[in-house]
Amino acid sequence: MADDNNLPQDDNLSVDADLTAGETTEETTAAAETLEGAAGSKTEAELADLKDKYLRLAAEFENYKRRTTKERADLFKTANQELMVSLLPVLDDFDRARHHTKETEDAGTVRESVDIIYNKLNKTLTQKGLVTMEVKGGAFDPELHEAITQIPAPTEDLKGKIVDEVEKGYYLGDKVIRHAKVVLGQ
């Protein structure tokens, strides 16, 4: 085998790596520009499409925020409407009781009127989810009760427990809406 490195080389016979199969430099440059132009217009179209989608999404989000803000404001304005409508008959009963017991001297009649209205109000509020706390004789829980004072326990089993209830506590569903004010046994 002959050593190919020792053969004389002609400078005109060298092969340019960029040129292949008879292409000239101008042809290669023109082809590259055509490819770049096609890719550039495609990229610009994609960019314009994405920009349009972004602007539409931003506008849609702004409309959503505006709509939910308005709905919330309306909800706050009318949140108590259902409760108020259900309490109107109780208010009517109070009005009738005041009117009919205005001239009576019989305390029993007035008490009976008040009891009837109290029961109706209690029933209405219970239907709306209001529940009274049962606390007397139970253990003190600072998350449910507010201790007003402590007194000596009347019996040994009431030490550290709730002896008396000064003001009732209430739940609305599972949430405490008013803590019970209680007296603890010492």
Residue 75 CB-half CA count within 13 A: 6
- Structure confidence at residue 38 as a pLDDT band (50, 70, 90): low
* pLDDT score of 8: 54
Q: Which residues are CB-contacts of 148 (< 8 A; sequence separation ≥ 6)?
A: 166, 181, 182, 183
Please work out, in degrees rounded to the nearest 5, the angle formed at the alpha carbon of residue 31 by the alpha carbons of 29 and 35: 115
Sign of the four-CA dihedral 46, 47, 50, 56: negative
* pLDDT score of 53: 96
Residue 12, phi then psi, degrees to nearest 5:
-75, -15
Residue 19: pLDDT above 90?
Answer: no
Q: Are 158 and 186 in contact (CB under 8 A)?
A: no
* pLDDT score of 155: 85
* pLDDT score of 34: 57
Using one digit for the tens of pLDDT, what is the confidence trace for 157-170?
Answer: 888 889 999 999 99
Residue 147, phi then psi, degrees to nearest 5:
-80, 125
Using one digit for the tens of pLDDT, what is the confidence trace for 87-144?
Answer: 999 999 999 988 888 888 888 888 999 999 999 999 999 998 999 999 888 888 999 9
Mean pLDDT of the chain: 82
User: Rounded CA gap, 15 and 128, in Å?
Assistant: 93
